[in-house]
Chains A and B, each alone.
Chain A
Amino acid sequence: MNRLVFLLVFIFFLTGCMNNYGIDDLAMISGVGFDVSKHEDHHLDITAMYQVPTETDVFEYLHASSNSLENADIEMMSQTKRQVVNGQLRISLFGEELAKDGIFPIILSFLRDPSVGPLVSLAVAKGTAKEILITKLEKEPNTGSYIETMLERLDEEYVYPSVNILQFTRSYYDDGIDPILPMILTTKRNILLDGFALFKDDRMVASLTNEKAIYLFLLSEDFKKGVIDLEIEIGGKKEDVHLSYVRTKHKIKVKKENNDFTVNFDIHITGNLEGYSGKQTLTKDSVQKELETKINNVLNSEMKDLLSFLQKMNVDPVGVGEAVRNSLSYNEWKSLNWEEVYPKINFTTEVNMKIRNMSKFQ
């Protein structure tokens, strides 16, 4: 009993040895960017931004070059009187060049740090990450938070997903799918989403534009949101179609004949036809049917193009590997050399588009 009391009392005295800075003495990093360093000894250039706790909308930047995130701590700490902490990190950006070299060592540092949550957004910066972080938008000085909110909103309202550490890590370790990350571009006056980076393991190997990326998400996800813009040809004339409130359902079927795989995508889309640049009267059933088949054709060919492009680059962000793996036994999958099989897979797509609703007037 005496020993217990002694221990309890001791615990309270020992806590004096712990550093507990007040909440107003912290430099809480909200956004961090990684680039390839020009420095000879170091691999990484790190840029971190934090809000000066006592001021509104005043941000400061810390710069460091090192070989890992952990090693940059001391250099960053020497640049501010505050204690640098990662607990409020919202977004991490990777320069394009670095992304091509591989980013997993950094992700691993995040995973190891208990103060960094798994929901931190990731993105690839076109150009350098530093460039984007130090961009000062006139009304939105908190760049890190701005990018995160933008990606979140796109995820909620449109088809473009935001990717966090958890999702990236999952795709990275899963052998049936390859990770993707959104790409961010800065013009000096704005920051915008500019396509998606396709990764093989942790190296960026290709990118898709925003328009093409939609077909990727049609193939890999079901969603109940977003818009699709298409260009169709009717009678030799090009006409624009704008679909909104799109709902999609997709099914992947895998057939194995001898050693050849055939993967069939069955995609159902319903949506409101809101914009149409052609001259036809939309209320006619025949016109709608025609439009639907045209849209189907366009989508089919676009998806085929996309799939063959992915095969050419040998990346699988759709998750074809998962579907194939699920159709096989464990031993069959293990004996399969997926890297070699993937480019030879025969893809077929069946798109079934239905116009559910029309614009208010004609």
Chain B
Amino acid sequence: MLNLLKKILFNDLQSKNSKNKEIQKNQKPTYSHIEEEFSKCADITKKEYPQIHLQLMYFEYMIAKEMVEKVLFSKIEKLNAENIKSFLSQHQFQACDDSKEAVNALLAGNVIIFHQDQTYIFAAINLQTRAIQTAESETIITGSHDAFNEDINTNLSLVRRRVKSSKLKVLKYSIGKITKNTVYILYIEDLAKPDLVNELKNRMENIKVDAIYDVNMLVQLIEEYPTSPFPQIFTTERPDVMSSKLTEGKIIGLMSNSPYAFSAPATFFDFVHSPDDYNQRWLTGSLIRIFRLFAFFITVTLTALYVSITTFHYAMVPELLLPSLIKSRSNVPFPPIIEALIMEFTIELLREAGARLPTKVGQTIGIVGGIVIGSASVEAGITSNILIIFVAVSAIASFVIPSYVMSSSVRIIRFGFIIMAGFLGNLGISIALGFLVLSLTSLTSLKTPYLWPISPTQPSNWLDTLIRAPLASLNNETNTSKKKKNSNKNKR
């Protein structure tokens, strides 16, 4: 990472130094200019046909070779000085008067053709990409399984296939001074609020960064509270989720070379919902949503509760549970807070190791971690049985949250709760909960409250937030669209 940073900085400096050498905009492209621009690029291919004064430049691995061979090279070879002009006037040869544009086209994977003082771009992009595969980090049981991949056009098509509407508008941006990633901002006109679209446009235009590689990086540049532990813009690899966000009146963004997409504005509840909630019966969906919210609180507080109870609040324990709790604690030489932090730390290590390792080795790690470390550490008297249960349950609960980014955030704030519980007991947990609620309510995502519709309170919208009411009663038109319609009516 450090190397990368150095490289970026270095490049940046270099480009500043060689500013006067750099090709100016609106300069007419010439072969020698472009050649100089790509000096020391061993991977560039140059072809010359001196008898007809024709030069070609392209990156061999970025073009559709067979097509270019058939349509371009084979025909050029048959050309002579007379008919070359008419050949190049065909529509697939786009004349180009701007050096900058020519360079960008070349980098994107086109063939640049120089003939005398005229330059043409021949569209031949064919980038090797991964096929559309099943979603890996957000698997569901019922519903569509396709996921975005690294090719932005594929991603765009995945969305367009689902939302067949001319109202689906697409804005294009190029982000990153060096990496020059294409970003598409998509929204449905009439559904998305124009001021939010404008706000997002502003933010996209104001991004000043040299390099960016993923949507998850991009959203950190455009969210309002970059220091908050919680993600404020929802990212997913599922095109069906993104399409549903579009129809909810949200704005989504796709980026080249990233298998993720973002949607804004996001609420806290976006991160704890899954398409499965809608694909299953409403009762199942509602119950699972409630469970997930429980899981959120369990993750945050359960280990902390163990610490506070064993440190301060012995009186809270039911009489029958007390002997077993005491017995499991009595062999442990550490105070509960140290014991809990050790265990939580171990679980985090296990999780991280499992995530970085190939699947097959990952399973071994699970067994080693779960069974060997778990039971052995109890026998060795490092931790108590009951803590293992608490830590395991809260770890499992954290994985119930569908969004990986959110579940990681939750696991981090849990440490704060444990420390507060160790120092101040239940009072500490209450204080931490207070801060949690404060920080959640004070967040906004693209000018929209993060905890909507809980705060500001709009009980009519709880039907699709806390629970998942039957689809008929959710009234397939979303609130935003209804509002929009009404306002349109008023205008008329």
Contact = CB atoms under 8 A, between A and B. Distances in A.
**A, B bound:** yes
Interface of A: 11-12, 15, 20, 22-24, 26, 28, 30, 51, 53-54, 56, 85, 87-88, 90, 115, 117, 145
Contacts of B325: 23
Contacts of B311: 20, 22-23
Interface string B325-341: 11101100001100000
A115 B326 contact: no
B424 interface: yes
Contacts, number: 51
Give the secondary structure class of B's interface.
helix
Nearest to A23: B310
Interface string B301-340: 0000000011110110101001101110110000110000
B315 A87 contact: yes
Contact of B335 (A22, A56, A115, A145): A22
Nearest to B323: A56
A26 B314 contact: yes
Contact of B323 (A15, A26, A51, A115): A51
Contact of A22 (B317, B327, B329, B424): B329
B314 A54 contact: no
A330 B365 CA distance: 76
A87 to B, nearest CB: 3
Contacts of B323: 51, 53, 56
Contacts of A12: 423
B331 to A, nearest CB: 9
Contact of A24 (B317, B326, B423): B326
A115 B315 contact: yes
Give the top 10 A-B pairs by smallest Cβ distance, nearest first.
Answer: A87-B315, A24-B330, A53-B326, A15-B423, A23-B310, A54-B330, A24-B329, A23-B314, A24-B326, A20-B311
Taking residues whose C-beta sits less than 8 angstroms from the other chain, chain B's interface range is 10 to 19
Given A11-B423, A54-B330, A88-B317, 18 more contacts: A12-B423, A15-B424, A20-B311, A20-B335, A22-B311, A22-B329, A22-B335, A23-B311, A23-B314, A24-B326, A24-B329, A24-B330, A53-B330, A54-B326, A54-B327, A87-B315, A88-B322, A90-B319
A117 B315 contact: yes
B315 A22 contact: no
Contacts of B326: 23-24, 53-54
Contact of B310 (A22, A30, A88, A145): A22
A88 B315 contact: yes
B329 A23 contact: yes
Residue with the greatest number of chain A CB neighbours at <10 A, chosen from B314, B327, B335: B314
A88 B314 contact: yes
A253 B311 CA distance: 55
Most B-side CB within 10 Å, residue of A24, A51, A56, A85: A24
Contact of B319 (A11, A15, A54, A145): A145
